[in-house]
Amino acid sequence: MIKTLLHVFQVRELRSKLLFTLGMLIVYRIGFWIPLPGVNQEEMVRFFQQAAQTNSAAGRAAQYVAIFSGGSFSRSTIFGLGIMPYITASIIFQLVGSVSPTLKKLQEEGPSGRAKVQEWTRYATVALCIVQAVGWLGYMKGAGLVLPQYGNNPVWWMTALTALTAGTIFLMWLGEQIDRFGIGNGVSLIITAGILTGMPRALVHVWSTYDPSGTQGLNAIGVLMLAGGFVFVVGGAVLLTVAQRRIPIQQAKHTRGRRVYGGQRSYLPLRINHSGVMPIIFASSLMIFPSVIFEAIASAAKAPGNDGWWVTALTRLGEWFQIGQFPYVLLYVLMVYFFSYFWVTVQFNPEDMAKQLRDHGSFIPGLRPGPRTAEYLEAVIGRITYVGAAFLSVIAVLPMVVNKSLNIDYSVTQFLGGTGLLIVVSVTLDFLQRIEANLMMRNYAGFLGGEEAKTSTARVRGPRG
């Protein structure tokens, strides 16, 4: 490993890319500490700390958004909206492109078409930033977090709105610069950097609550179990990210004159977790609404004079949909399964895949090209999606289960699973694979295999398993 690290810094081009990427991430973290004008920062931090301790809807929303903003949402900095508007716009165009023939054709035109779609995505990002910034500033004013002399000042509104929008656009630009001159996916690395900034706070919290006797906090056994669980979950997340179902592909032989071409045997890799982290993102964002709605209705129903049975029912529903409760976990798992199949349906088209195999003169041994191949691919992707959704569900609910059962702070348990952990694992693996590719081009052994990777052979499974 040390020899590989030395090789990384010996290659001038790779060293320049790594240093440029690191510099852009440092710029991002500097912007994290630039506050938004007119906001009472001390009161803001106190407000969200109290909301997180009481497990209120505002605290849960802030914790979710902090995944993509690096915690700056609760601190109200110029990067308060984070990169989330750009991600939302990209997802919207990706979904629309799968059902819109015009947009799909534009994406298939090559670099020029993708550049046009990217331009539209930037415009949509600006529109989303304005909408989200207006809502966020209005919420801060209603909660009394804005200084009185600025709350009704239109100049402050324009300044704060411009600062939040410009902050997101600047992060989008940073991500594009990393894509061009650095290494790795820029937007993903920015999100990962924001998530990892919470790890030191989690370690400090574990250290501050450590109690050798175990009466007031975690003892030595509890800390070891927590560390072991973290290693186990990270290993499972890595396995889930790289696991594949390999379908053998046989290329047809072509005879031209006296020579025979083709006949090579390869495989079609189908990822077990084909949808990535998107099902957890969708499920987490939608699961905020039931608890918020029931909590608001129950608070309004508890007004003086209202003591009917329906008040008790609404209060009970609000309690059921608190994080960690059984109805909440059950609905969360069902939504993870639903969005896993939904995302695979949108992204993977068995008929197109079968048509491409037929057009390239390839086929799956034992299956006729065309509709029969499409049926087989659809059946396989359905089975492996079920398994992948099960793994995703375990990783998604593990933090809240540990938080509820062992009474460990959520800032610590969030590193035992959930959206943040999957994002960090997938982005880190992609980053290492890109470094690996650069090293292998120059005949250096990489991080992920070295000599063992050159000599190892993987068993290819048949079409029937």
pLDDT in tens, 107-136: 777 788 888 888 899 999 999 999 888 888
Name the least confident of 202-206, 306-310, 404-408, 446-450: 446-450
Give yes or no: residues 186 and 216 share one domain: no
Write down the pLDDT at residue 98: 74
CA distance 417 to 91: 23
| 376 and 453 together in one domain | yes
Element (H, E) at 246: strand 244-251
**Whether pTM exceeds 0.85:** no
Q: Rounded to whole angstroms, how far apart are CA atoms 358 and 372?
A: 12
Q: Tell me the C-alpha distance between 91 and 84, whole Å.
A: 10
Residue 202 belongs to some domain of the structure: no
- Number of folded domains in the chain? 2
- Boundary (domain end) residue, out of 196, 225, 241: 196
Mean pLDDT of 139-160: 84
Give the distance, in angstroms, between the CA of residue 163 and the centroid of all CA atoms in the same chain. 25
316 lies in some domain: yes
For residue 253, being part of any structural domain is answered with: yes
Nearest-10 Cα torsion for 318, 299, 72, 76: 170
- Boundary-marking domain end, from 196, 219, 243: 196
pLDDT digits (tens, 9 = 90+) for 264-289: 788 888 888 888 877 887 787 777 77
Mark whether 464 and 373 lie in a shared domain: yes
Domain membership of residue 92 (yes or no) is: yes
Please check whether residues 189 and 214 belong to one and the same domain: no
Q: Which residue has the tokens 């029937």?
A: 464
Is 233 found in the same domain as 165?
Answer: no
Contact 186, 175 (CB under 8 A): yes
Q: Is residue 363 part of a domain?
A: yes
Region for 432 from its dihedrals, namely left if φ exceeds 0, alpha if ψ lies in -120 to 50, beta otherwise: alpha
Bigger pLDDT: 322 or 340?
340
Residue type, 99: V
> Does a structural domain hold residue 267?
yes
Q: What is the mean pLDDT of residues 331-350?
A: 87
pLDDT bucket at 77, cuts 50 / 70 / 90: confident
Compute the average pLDDT of residues 391-415: 79
Over residues 390-415, the mean pLDDT reads: 80
Measure the CA–CA gap between 239 and 387, rounded to whole angstroms.
Answer: 13
- What is the band of 261 on the pLDDT scale with cuts at 50, 70, 90? low
Residue 349, pLDDT > 70, answer: yes
- Please calculate the CA angle 342-343-347 and round it to the nearest 5 degrees: 125
Mean pLDDT of the chain: 79
| Average pLDDT value for residue range 150-160 | 86
Which pLDDT score, from 0 to 100, does residue 1 have? 55
Q: Is the model's pLDDT at 464 over the cut of 60?
A: no
137 shares its domain with 10 = yes
Give the residue-averaged pLDDT of 4-29. 84
Residue 301 lies in a domain: yes
3-state secondary structure of 35: strand
Q: So what's the pLDDT on residue 300?
A: 67
Q: Which ranges of 38-153 does DSSP label H, i.e. alpha helix?
A: 41-53, 57-69, 72-75, 84-99, 101-107, 111-142
Residues 78 and 50 in one domain: yes
Of 320, 445, 450, give the one whose Cα is nearest residue 10: 445
Q: Domain range holding 165?
A: 1-196
**Gap between the Cα atoms of 124 and 94, Å rounded:** 13
> How many helices (H) does the chain have, and how many strands (E)?
20, 5
Angle at 89 between CA 276 and CA 196, to 5 degrees: 50
Stretch 148-160: mean pLDDT: 86
Same domain for 185 and 284, yes or no, is: no
Domain boundary among 145, 161, 196: 196
Composition of the chain by helix, strand, coil, percent to 5: 70, 5, 25
| 201 occurs within a structural domain | no
Mean pLDDT to the nearest integer, 322-338: 84
Structure tokens at 363: 């086929």
Question: 161 and 280: one domain?
Answer: no
Same domain for 175 and 235?
Answer: no
410 and 296 within one domain: yes
Q: What angle do CA 144, 149, 153 make, to 5 degrees?
A: 100
d(CA 71, CA 93): 27
In this prediction, residue 59 has a pLDDT band, given cuts at 50, 70 and 90, of: low
pLDDT at 334: 92
The pair of three-digit structure tokens given for residue 322, joined into one six-digit string:
């608190």
CATH code of 171's domain: 1.10.3370.10
Domain shared by 252 and 106, yes or no: no
